[in-house]
Amino acid sequence: MADSFPIDFGEYRLLRKLAQGGMAEIFLAQDKKGGICAVKRILPHLAHEESFIRMFIDEARIVSHLEHPNITAVYGHGKVDGYYYIAMEFVQGHSLLAVSERAKQVKMPLPRGLLAWVVAELLAGLGYAHAARDPRGRHLGIVHRDVTPQNVLISYEGEVKLVDFGVAKARARLTQTEAGFTKGKLSYMSPEQARGEELDGRSDLFSVGIILHEITTNTRLFNKEGPGGILGAIVNDPIPRPSLKIRDYPGPLEDIVMRALDKDVGTRWQTAEEMRDALLRYGRREKPAPGQARLKDLVYDLFGAPDSQRDIDKAKALAAPTPERVEAHRELSQAQVRVKSHVEARPQSAHKPREDETRMMPSELEQHRSSARSAVARNLEITGDQVPAVKLPISRDEPEIPVPNPTEPLRVRLARFLAAFAEDLRLSWRTRRKKWVIGLSGGGVALLVLLGLATGAFGRMKEGLSGLVQSAKDFRETEGISERPAIDAGFEPTQLRIVSEPPGASITVNEIGMGSVTPYTLADLPLGEKLRVSLSLPGYRVYTEELVLIPNRGLQEYTMRLERQVGAVRVTSDPPDARIYLDGKATSKRTPATLEDLPADTEVSIKVVKKGLSPDTKVVMVVDGVTQELAFQLEVDEGQIPPGRISVESSPTGCSVFVDGNFAGTSPVTGVAAKTGSHQVKVTCEHYGEETRSVAVWSEQTTDVSFTLEPVAFGYLTIRPVPSEGSVVRINGKRVPTPVEFKKVIPGRHVVTVENRGLNQSRQIEVDVAPNARITRSVNLTQ
């Protein structure tokens, strides 16, 4: 499409480009009623990528269910000239990221109370999306999955809008996210999203918590290098309290932030409404109260007047119904009615067209209507040096209508031009070779009205439209041109039988549909006249041939062989030499290879398989006569992905370490091999209790984990055997030195055994020891 604006795009006029992302570009646009909107259009290089198209359509389908003041509205979606698009509400403003960055540039501190109100508005839209239901009352299960400062818009009216549901999860999506695959911007993912686990709305609340933390502290929360570093920090690193960065950070706001960032979804905020209520309660303490008016003032203070306002004003001016446009539209409509009436008044029962009849195909009529409308919109005027040059739709062997000599008077040039213009439309399909026979009755007069309107010349010429018509008549008489074309005396009717292989094709003669299919016989056709015959059949290419009927041949038959509509797909893979499957069936081809003779306008599923790599499948729409490129990037099979490693330190050292329930040694432990994913690490130490954590491991990377165990409270046990000489004492099966005085033990129940081999006696007792308790027990072996 052209780069100059405005650009007509279906029902919309694109005024200028607003932004471009990795999947789509967004335009400021005007609809057919003059309203302003935004048009999000898939990028050209992705227009045939099935996965992106489905993701794009998913966004429109999801948001079409949502009507909320804090979510951008979708007005419609569809496809124009091969481009998928979404028409949506135009938000005149800036992203929350741009607002934050701009405030840093101009060193303007943002009021934390106002920022809390902005996030509360964001949560209002997010909560609505989480709870949304379809018209049948079924819960949609929407999770945005990409809540970032870039996707929160602040309008010049102080409104807060959540945008871009392109990777949102919903039960009714066309595209599904595979297990272990993550979508969204890494720095704003929740721990469960980073681990590739099943998500619900609480994942979005963690993302909101990141935003609130960052905009109120002016720092990035997970500022690590590389995807592994970012995701590892999200899953494993403790969240720093905002008050560690800003001493006077409000305690109530910090509590809200830290609960949103709790890595345990069970103790995090459970709903957007719950978190929003807490923020609003905090905001009520602010003076002046935060709200839309203060946010509006802030946006103007930071950015000034919006750049896009000039485009909007210009578009509205073009759409304004000025008196001149209203009058032009009225006269144009009347002229179109007269042309339509003249065309529809043709006799329907005649076997051959009348020689004085003006014939205009519907496509030609619409072309001239469009030209007239375009000219009125441009408000052109014809001056002494301006005469429009018009090309009419004529066959390849016919000359173009000449443009009158510029040195002639204006009225003569118009008359000559209009005479030729009307002549081409009046000639019947069997008298087209007589190119300069002119008539201005009926449809010719109506076309003069159309041309006068299209050039904006009505009311401006010295003698008006009636003068133009008279000039054209005078010119015709001066040149000695007859009013009606001569009738060819050699006309003889005959018959033509049209056969196709395969049969059943629709027949068009000279662009007029016959309403019949092959095989079919046409009767009462003129001899010596070129007949342009076209056959169309679904799944086959349109076949067109020019035929000339020969005299004295009776019934003449023509057989036409139709070609199937087929396309091809060239399949490549990295690495190559992968086996290719088509619609689930193995082919004999290996990448790189071309699959040919595929039925056009059908979807085919292509799968590539190579040993040791994960297979991949893509769906592509076959296009007639086109060889499409389909590239696969094969990934290593998960079973062959190199493992990562876990290293564990503890204080105190010497603690037992378990990974996924398996003993891995005593701390410190280094280099324990583990697959990519989430693992449970437990550390236990005598007198210090135990601690368990969930740890994310990445291929060929070492995850370091440190534990600090606090000592538990002890009790004290004294055992006095009788007799003491020769007696042995064991506590929980472990021999202890005697005498046993104030032995430090972990609180709980302990088994005490006293033995004396000289007396050949043994006795066992159970003792409950409470924290910090001092317990004394006597064990008499002589009784």
**pLDDT tens track for 500-525:** 999 999 988 887 777 788 998 877 66
Domain range for 407: 323-479
Q: Which of 583, 614, 638 is the last residue of a domain?
A: 638
pLDDT > 80? residue 37 = yes
Kindly state whether residues 725 and 647 are assigned to the same domain.
no
Q: Share the mean pLDDT of the chain.
A: 75
The 10 Å Cβ neighbour count of residue 105 is 8
Kindly state whether residues 553 and 593 are assigned to the same domain.
no
Per-residue pLDDT tens digits for 156-180: 999 999 988 765 554 444 344 433 3
Are the CB atoms for 650 and 662 separated by under 8 Å? no
Which position has the token pair 């060889």?
627
Please report whether residue 542 resides in a domain. Answer: yes
Q: Which of 608, 638, 668 is the last residue of a domain?
A: 638
pLDDT > 50? residue 344 = no
Please report whether residue 489 resides in a domain. Answer: no
Please report whether residue 352 resides in a domain. Answer: yes
* DSSP letters for 477-501: HHHT--SSPPPPTT---EEEEEEEE
Which position has the token pair 């003779």?
597
Please report whether residue 310 resides in a domain. Answer: no
* Sheet containing 774-780, strands listed edge to edge, beginning at the edge strand earlier in sequence: 740-745, 715-722, 774-780
Q: What is the pTM of this model?
A: 0.44
Q: Range with the lowest mean pLDDT among 182-191, 357-366, 517-526, 636-645?
A: 357-366
Kindly state whether residues 179 and 33 are assigned to the same domain.
yes
Of 175 and 710, which is predicted with more confidence?
A: 710
Of 251 and 483, which is predicted with more confidence?
A: 251
Kindly state whether residues 631 and 645 are assigned to the same domain.
no
Of 109 and 492, which is predicted with more confidence?
A: 109
What CATH number did the domain enclosing 698 receive? 2.60.40.1120
Q: For residue 454, what is the enclosing H or E element?
A: helix 443-454
pLDDT > 50? residue 480 = no
Q: If you ran DSSP here, which 8-state letter would residue 188 be given?
A: G
Long-range contacts formed by 708-713: CB under 8 A, 24+ apart:
708/650, 708/651, 709/650, 709/651, 709/652, 709/655, 709/683, 709/685, 711/687, 712/687, 712/688, 712/746, 712/747, 712/771, 713/747, 713/771, 713/772
Q: Which of 708, 737, 758 is the last residue of a domain?
A: 708
What pLDDT sits at residue 528?
Answer: 64
What CATH number did the domain enclosing 109 receive? 1.10.510.10
Kindly state whether residues 546 and 609 are assigned to the same domain.
no
Dist CA 622 CA 92 (whole Å): 40
Q: Range with the lowest mean pLDDT among 71-80, 88-97, 513-522?
A: 513-522
Q: Range with the lowest mean pLDDT among 154-158, 527-531, 684-688?
A: 527-531
Kindly state whether residues 262 and 116 are assigned to the same domain.
yes
Please report whether residue 316 resides in a domain. Answer: no
Mean pLDDT value of segment 382-391 = 30
What pLDDT sits at residue 660?
Answer: 93
Report how many domains make up the chain. 6
Kindly state whether residues 616 and 762 are assigned to the same domain.
no
Per-residue pLDDT tens digits for 546-555: 877 766 566 7
What pLDDT sits at residue 233?
Answer: 87
Question: Does a cis peptide bond (omega within 30 degrees of 0) precede residue 747?
Answer: no
Q: If you ran DSSP here, which 8-state letter would residue 639 be given?
A: G
Kindly state whether residues 378 and 467 are assigned to the same domain.
yes
Task: Tell me which residues are annotated as active site.
Answer: 146
What pLDDT sits at residue 309?
Answer: 60
Please report whether residue 488 resides in a domain. Answer: no
Of 385 and 239, which is predicted with more confidence?
A: 239
Kindly state whether residues 126 and 201 are assigned to the same domain.
yes
pLDDT > 60? residue 402 = no
pLDDT > 60? residue 107 = yes
Mean pLDDT value of segment 24-28 = 88
Kindly state whether residues 41 and 147 are assigned to the same domain.
yes
Dist CA 458 CA 213 (whole Å): 67
Kindly state whether residues 627 and 647 are assigned to the same domain.
no
Please report whether residue 66 resides in a domain. Answer: yes
Mean pLDDT value of segment 368-395 = 33
What pLDDT sits at residue 156?
Answer: 92
pLDDT > 60? residue 220 = yes
Kindly state whether residues 612 and 693 are assigned to the same domain.
no
Distinct helix (H) and strand (E) counts, the chain: 15, 37
Mean pLDDT value of segment 341-353 = 36
Are the CB atoms for 61 and 75 separated by under 8 Å? no
Please report whether residue 23 resides in a domain. Answer: yes
Per-residue pLDDT tens digits for 563-593: 888 999 999 998 899 999 999 899 999 999 9
